Structure 1
Amino acid sequence: MEYSASDIAAARILQYLAYICTALITFWTYDYLCSLHDEWTFLLRSRWTKVKCLYITARYIPFFLITSDIFLTLTPVENSKACKMLISIYSCFAVISLTCSECISPSSRHRRAPDPIHPGFFVLRTYALWSNNRIILVAMLSTLFAVIVSFIGIWFSAVAKSQYFSTGAIPGITGCYRTSNSVQLYLPFIVLFVFQLGLVTLTLIRAIRDWRSTRYPLYATLVKHNIFYYACGLLFSALNVLVPVIFPDVRKPADTLQYDGIIDVSHSQSSYHSFLEDLEVFILAILATRMHLRLWHIDNIVRDLDTLSYISMSVMSPTV
């Protein structure tokens, strides 16, 4: 039986998406198993706070993303309506995961710790680095709100206007995917990139000014985490912008396509961009939760050392 060029193109992109899904599942499972001991130590020993709830949400929402990915790529999807519904569900989980990743910031019970160890949004760490400057706070929170609203609006508008391709006529090929015009694909990540660039600039300016005068280990770790987190966010946001630009979604007539190992540009873009979207969501969730665990353990170590120091000084003090 002969298949059309469009059927072959759809089958190939579905195969690539299945490989991507399998790789991400393996990567996430490996990371979860590696940090299982530290994670359960934190979950069992730490107090229940809003930050802990954010941590749990950011950590386990990717499991729902994985489930959605499995339905999208490894199970038969017979029509475009079902495909659109699954992608909308996946997009909801992705937005929740990105938001929670930005909202994790550990609290510290260490009395001498600097203000940057502050419960609340990731951006509030930058606010604390600026000595709780209210002008900086208002500017960042206003920008954050505008970014979240814009990102959600543009993302779901792109989902609604996308073209959907479901399980085709070729046996053994399952799943579905979408394609959009390039502006719809990368505009949300331009917004995110500009916001992250502003935050990393503020963090760097303050860190350079205070680095030599501040010797707290928590402060140093916090600054390094902030810079590394935002740098990774900038990198993946930039890739999500550049890929649609480099591989524009320009469709060619089916009879002009050559399928001797080459896929048309629009299908290639779908594969690359889907992978980068998923990778940014997963990486930022892993970084945010890993950094939270690291700071929590450092805080506990410093607090325990202070307790031992206080006990030692009490023992050495002469009694009256």
Structure 2
Amino acid sequence: MEYSADDIAATRILQYLAYICTALITFWTYDYICSLHDEWTFLLRSRWTKVKCLYVTARYVPFFLIAADICLTLTPNENSKACKMFISIYSCFAVISLTCSECFFVLRTYALWSNNRIVLVAMLSTFFVIIVSFIGIWFSAIATSQYFSTSAIPGIPGITGCYRTSSSVQLYLPFILLFVFQLGLVSLTLIRAIRNWRPTRYPLYATLVKHNIFYYACGLFFSALNVLVPVIFPDSPYHSFLEDFEVFILAILATRMHLHLWQIDNTVHEFDVLVSIPMSPMSPMSPMSPTA
């Protein structure tokens, strides 16, 4: 049986997406296994608070994301409606994961600013507007995208899954909003770090600043990629890989940073800091009191 050039191109894309999906699942599983001991120590010894619930959500939602990704990429989808349904489910988990990851660094920036409620209200208000706009634009892009499924290449065994393409500005506009928000947070972090670096040289403070800067560098980099790739390659389906990768990387960085700070805070029992670090409770705490 002869196939058209479009059918062959679709076959190759589905194969490559399956390889990418497998690589991402392997990467996430490896990271989880490497941090399993520290994570369960934290989960068993720390108190249940709002921040701990946020940690659990940020850490384990990607497993549901992986399940949706497997259904999307590695299982047969015979029509575009099933493909669209799986992509919608996948996108819901991706938005939840991104929101939780960003919430961690809103809290970290809040801690760096000595629990300044004006800064917190400004960040949360901006974050709410960004997330609502992000969700609206992203799901609008899903509704207007083109879908290619297994049925587009009948008769070829071993090719499963589906993908979407879109040349619309809606494809990368959500990541422009995310980029702007991350840029605002890194600006707040740098301003606070420059002001307090000399008078406040404590391990926990230094670690917090270093992790925040590293996170924002990664976040800005991947958000920029998610903007540039659809602009340069408007009809490419591989932008979904970059979306996946950013979601996974931000979840790993946010949860690992929290684990590291919790370990430092439980190792050092006596320190005098100018900035209060609320490791578990959402409310301000005494700088001398141990956290969970």
Q: Does 1:123 align with 2:89?
A: no
Alignment match, 2:122: 139
- State the Cα RMSD in Å: 1.3
Q: Does 1:223 align with 2:209?
A: yes
Alignment match, 2:276: none
Higher-Rg member (1/2): 1
Q: Alpha-carbon deviation of 1:78? A: 0.2
Alignment match, 2:285: none
Alignment match, 1:101: 101
Alignment match, 2:247: 281
Q: How does 1:269-308 map to 2 (within 5 A)?
A: 269-271=236-238, 273-303=239-269
Structure 2 residue corresponding to 1:190, chosen from 165, 176, 182: 176
Write the deviation string for residues 42-97 of structure 1: whole angstroms up to 9, x where unpaired. Answer: 11111111111111111111111111111111111000000000000000000000
Contact persistence 1:236–1:276 (CA under 8 A) = yes
SS in 2 for 1:76: coil
Write the deviation string for residues 181-238 of structure 1: whole angstroms up to 9, x where unpaired. Answer: 2412110000000110011011101101110100221111111111111111100000
**Structure 1 unpaired stretches of 5+:** 105-121, 249-265, 307-320
Alignment match, 1:25: 25
SS in 1 for 2:76: coil
Q: Aligned partners of 2:167, 2:126: CA distance in 1, in Å?
A: 27
Q: How does 1:1-320 map to 2 (within 5 A)?
A: 1-104=1-104, 122-167=105-150, 168-169=153-154, 170-248=156-234, 266=235, 269-271=236-238, 273-303=239-269
Contact persistence 2:141–2:168 (CA under 8 A) = no
Misfit runs of 4+, over 2 Å: 127-139
Q: Alpha-carbon deviation of 1:293? A: 0.4
Contact persistence 1:182–1:245 (CA under 8 A) = no
2:202 maps to a residue whose letter is Y
Contact persistence 1:14–1:176 (CA under 8 A) = yes
**Structure 2 unpaired stretches of 5+:** 272-292
Taking structure 1 as the reference length, the TM-score comes to 0.81
2:43 maps to a residue whose letter is L
Q: Alpha-carbon deviation of 1:10? A: 1.0
Q: Aligned partners of 1:218, 1:51: CA distance in 2, in Å?
A: 18
Q: Aligned partners of 1:184, 1:46: CA distance in 2, in Å?
A: 42
